[in-house]
Amino acid sequence: MLDDKGFDLWADGYDKSVQLSEEDNEYPFAGYKDVLGTIYNIVHRKEKAKILDIGFGTGVLTKKLYDDGYEIYGIDFSQRMIAIAKEKMPLAKLFQYDFFKGLPKELENIQFDYIISTYAMHHLEDEDKIKLINKLEEYISRDGRIIIGDVAFQTRELLEQCKAKYENYWDDEEIYFVFNELKEFFPKEDISFTTISHCAGIIQLRKLS
């Protein structure tokens, strides 16, 4: 698992690394642009939204939303990635923090229309993903949504098929979403999954009133 120093070292080449994998339609970033584009379109259904991005990296998605006038907050534990994102979004409220621990105190008492996360939560164990999502629910507004785009699969069988296909460079240190297993922990929420590619999907969750 990469620590903050590892991500700092990767930061300058991160977008290029993603692009190469995405263009070849291969694990782990096949469908990356469609994941970001789909989330962008979901957010655009609401004007003047307040958005929190968990693990925003170099700000590829949030920069587009920032340019459209959305109020952007973000947390990431790589100081270098924050510096890159800050150059793109000087007025965004960006915090260095390890989301493994939840959210920083600076975000207390703030309600967000959307909490988004792309290609970040797969660094968490499944039980820690569940804890974090439960915590994030406290920060979404009445009609708000949590939207997660990541390496994700509808079923365990599909994950195993992908793992077998890419066994030579499958990352065993990353823990990918299996939607049919995750949804069992959120029976009181409206939770859905959209398949984007053979190794990517989008999870949406909102609290039921």
What's the mean pLDDT in 115-126?
96
Q: What is the CATH number of the domain that holds 66?
A: 3.40.50.150
3-class secondary-structure state, position 142 = strand
Residues in Cβ contact with 48 at an 8 Å cutoff, skipping those fewer than 6 apart: 69, 70, 71
The total of structural domains in the chain comes to 1
The β-bridge relationship of strands 200-207 and 140-150 is: antiparallel
pLDDT in tens, 154-188: 999 999 999 999 999 999 999 999 999 999 999 99
Using the Cα atoms of residue 85, residue 91, residue 96 and residue 98 in order, give the sign of their dihedral: negative
Domain that holds residue 61: 4-207
Could you tell me which residue, 208 or 42, shows the higher pLDDT? 42
pLDDT in tens, 9-24: 333 444 555 555 556 7
pLDDT value at residue 10:
33
pLDDT in tens, 59-97: 889 999 999 999 999 999 889 889 999 999 999 999 999
* Mean pLDDT across the chain: 89
pLDDT value at residue 105:
95
Percent of the chain surpassing pLDDT 90: 76
pLDDT value at residue 21:
53
Give the integer Cα–Cα distance in Å for 146 and 133: 8
Q: Is the pTM above the cut of 0.85? A: yes
What is the torsion angle, in degrees rounded to the nearest 10, for the CA atoms of residue 81, residue 82, residue 85 and residue 89? 180
